[in-house]
Amino acid sequence: MTLAEFIATAMVALRRNVLRSVLTTLGIIIGVGSVIVMSAIGSGASKQIDAQIASLGTNQLTIFPGSMNVGGRQGGAGSAPPLTEKDLRAIRENVTGIDAAAGNMNSGATVVVGNVNWVTQINGSSAEVQTVRDWPLKSGRFYDALEASSGRKLAVLGSTVARELFGEADPLGTMVRINNVPFQVIGVLSEKGQAGGRDQDDVVILPLSTARSRLMGRVRVPDEIGQILVKVDDRYELSEVQADIERVLRQRRRIAPNATDNFMVRNFAEFLATRNATTRTLGLLLASTAAISLIVGGIGIMNIMLVSVTERTREIGLRMAIGASGSDILGQFLTEAVLLCMAGGFLGLVLGAGIAIVISTLFAWPVYISPGVVLMAIMASASVGVIFGFVPARRASQLNPIEALRYE
Amino acid sequence: MTAAGIASPVPVVAARNLCKTYQLGEQSVHALREVSFDIQRGEFVAIMGPSGSGKSTLMNMIGALDVPSSGQLLIDGTDIGTLDRDQLAALRNHTIGFVFQQFNLLARTSALDNVKLPLTYSRPRRADATDIARSCLEKVGLGARMDHVPSQLSGGQQQRVAIARALVNSPSIILADEPTGALDSATSLEILQLFESLNAQGMTVIMVTHELDVASHARRLLRVKDGRLVEDRAVTGALTEHQS
């Protein structure tokens, strides 16, 4: 028999008892369906995390002043000498593989326009920060390096701040007062969304020198920088550039070869590692759930196929009498089991996708059904058909045609 | 069927000291003992015998469903004792056309698809399977009912479909097991006349029955009793209890 004939024969047999066929595959349907739902929610969540990590910048390094050990007493974070413009320049000039490097200082401040005010975060940043953080503008422009160093009072608003202060109005060109210092709004940033539980758009970016002299209060050294943000050129290894930065800073800050760094370089690879571990655990959980439900479903299939072989003993006898070989009969019942399982897998897929969509609309959770999971669900249910259909099919193929024909 | 009617040197069925012994626990049951006969191409043979006589065993072997314990059974010159399961299946497919008492048609399957069934197991595959099945259904007078499923057909019509199915592979032998056992006498007569006409066209027909008036449609009678062939004679006219 050809595959098409096997399938046609199996369809006739399965249609003979639709209710039973559906009930038989229920185990597979529920198993595949639940796996699809879980994986849709799981990969939706991890996709969201991926997007957040990407919005933070995966090729970005952040340098903080570290803690300092004074006479055996370890100071807290920031107790070490601050980073300065000279450190920034040294990194720019001596480290290869840097796309852009920006100084940054953070502070909280109240921004006032007319009778509206909003407490937000102030980022005093060099002009390069836009490149480093890969942050396009929604409208207006960013200040350039000259404006940043000449103390101009310009402000670029995060989208949340712009919305809170101006609503639908266009903020460009308006004067805003930040801790009572007037600044001119020259640009509004595009939305970046949430990351790490913080609204990244709730921010105002100002030229670093202006922010330092007008808003940051007391600084320890005149050219202090809170952090240095570095964007690594894609063609270079992140870890190598990081090592290079550490070498340059140790040299500039005169740290003895066996002393510990008094600064820290952080990258997002650590975030990624945590995420990967979470994904692996989730994947393992999914795989075991899928395996258990498919085994349970498979046993259901095997049971009903054994019943079917017994019920159709005469038919098997007839087919053998008119010339069906053992492999013809084996193929016929295996096809039936595989078809049953694949239909169950497909129904489970539809059911799971439907539930995932309902969940995503009801709870606003991100869901994502990956093609890989779909393919795996179909393949797994087909394998269940082969594995659990084999015993009944083999039993059918080994029947004695004389006894089978006489079977009542 | 092309060679039918021409006296062939190779008998279509040849039994040589055929024995079949079943083991029932400690006991050996001799279903057939030293049975020998030849059936030539184009014969119409009735095999008779009471139940337990061994006629079913004999029929199973002629149908290549069973193999002898000793002795030989040759179908078209092939010793079935030398064949494995799959070779026996292929031999049945090409050489034997089975007709059963209970018709054994596939339910919910059209007459045409039922008739085509043996061709789906044939190797090499026939591209013209549907045409062959159609012409076989026409031959048994069911040309107008090809799309009917068995439940829409009368018993006689179902048996005609079964006969068309038996003919579809142009077998050497039509082997009918009590073909009229489930039919009323008028319908039985029609079916027997169909066998006669097929035989007249050259088809070898072997029919197992326990009814004399059914057997009297054959042209040769083999009678089996206690595992032995007790009678082998030509049939002329109606058989009566006295004659047997």
Into how many domains does chain B fold?
Answer: 1
Contacts of B98 in chain A (CB under 8 A): 321-322
Task: Give the model's pLDDT for residue B179.
Answer: 94
Q: Is residue B134 part of a domain?
A: yes
Q: Is residue B75 part of a domain?
A: no
Whole-number average pLDDT of chain A: 86
**Taking residues A40-56, what's their average pLDDT?**
75
Q: Which region among A1-15, A146-160, B3-17, B76-90 has the lowest average model confidence (pLDDT)?
A: B3-17
pLDDT digits (tens, 9 = 90+) for A386-396: 999 999 999 99
The angle subtended at Cα A27 by Cα A25 and Cα A33, nearest 5°, is 100
**Taking residues A299-318, what's their average pLDDT?**
93
Residue A271 has pLDDT above 80, yes or no: no
Q: Which region among A16-30, A259-273, B217-231 has the lowest average model confidence (pLDDT)?
A: A259-273
CA–CA separation, A39 and A287 (whole Å): 10
Which stretch, A185-199, A256-270, A370-384, B171-185, has highest mean pLDDT? B171-185
Handedness of CA A193, A196, A197, A200 (dihedral sign): negative
Q: Is residue B9 part of a domain?
A: no
Task: Give the model's pLDDT for residue B125.
Answer: 83
Q: Is residue B12 part of a domain?
A: no
Confidence of residue A196 (pLDDT cuts 50, 70, 90): low
CA–CA separation, B206 and B69 (whole Å): 22
Q: Is residue B243 part of a domain?
A: no
Whether A402 and chain B come into contact, CB under 8 Å, resolves to: yes
Host domain of residue B139: 43-55+84-234
pLDDT digits (tens, 9 = 90+) for B186-238: 999 999 999 999 999 999 999 999 889 999 999 999 999 999 999 999 988 77
pLDDT digits (tens, 9 = 90+) for A73-101: 665 655 678 888 888 999 999 998 888 89
Distance from CA of B104 to the nearest CA of A (A): 7
Q: Is residue B161 part of a domain?
A: yes
CATH number at residue B202: 3.40.50.300
**DSSP conformational letter for A174:** -
Task: Give the model's pLDDT for residue B241.
Answer: 63
**Taking residues A366-389, what's their average pLDDT?**
89
pLDDT digits (tens, 9 = 90+) for B117-156: 999 999 888 889 999 999 999 999 999 999 999 999 999 9
pLDDT digits (tens, 9 = 90+) for A314-356: 999 999 999 999 999 999 999 999 999 999 999 999 999 999 9
Contacts of B125 in chain A (CB under 8 A): 2
Whether A319 and chain B come into contact, CB under 8 Å, resolves to: yes
Contacts of B90 in chain A (CB under 8 A): 323, 325
Q: Which region among A37-41, A260-264, A353-357, B240-244 has the lowest average model confidence (pLDDT)?
A: B240-244
Task: Give the model's pLDDT for residue B5.
Answer: 47
Per 3-state DSSP, chain B is made up of helix, strand and coil in percentages (nearest 5) of 35, 25, 40
Q: Is residue B16 part of a domain?
A: no
Task: Give the model's pLDDT for residue B4.
Answer: 47
Q: Counting every residue, how long is chain B?
A: 244
Q: Which distant-in-sequence residues (6+ apart) come within 8 Å of A2 by Cβ?
A: B120, B125
Residue A212 has pLDDT above 60, yes or no: yes
Handedness of CA B14, B15, B16, B20 (dihedral sign): positive
pLDDT digits (tens, 9 = 90+) for B53-68: 999 999 999 999 999 9
Whole-number average pLDDT of chain B: 90
Q: What is the interface pTM, i.e. ipTM, of the complex?
A: 0.91
CA–CA separation, A232 and A228 (whole Å): 13
Q: Is residue B131 part of a domain?
A: yes
Q: Which two tokens stand for residue B188?
A: 């039985």
Task: Give the model's pLDDT for residue A168.
Answer: 86
Task: Give the model's pLDDT for residue B80.
Answer: 95
- Interface list for chain B against chain A, based on CB atoms closer than 8 Å: 60, 63, 65-66, 85-86, 89-90, 92-94, 98, 100, 104, 106-109, 117-118, 120-122, 125, 165, 169
Q: Which region among A23-37, A58-72, A209-223, A236-250 has the lowest average model confidence (pLDDT)?
A: A58-72
Task: Give the model's pLDDT for residue A178.
Answer: 92
Residue A275 has pLDDT above 60, yes or no: yes
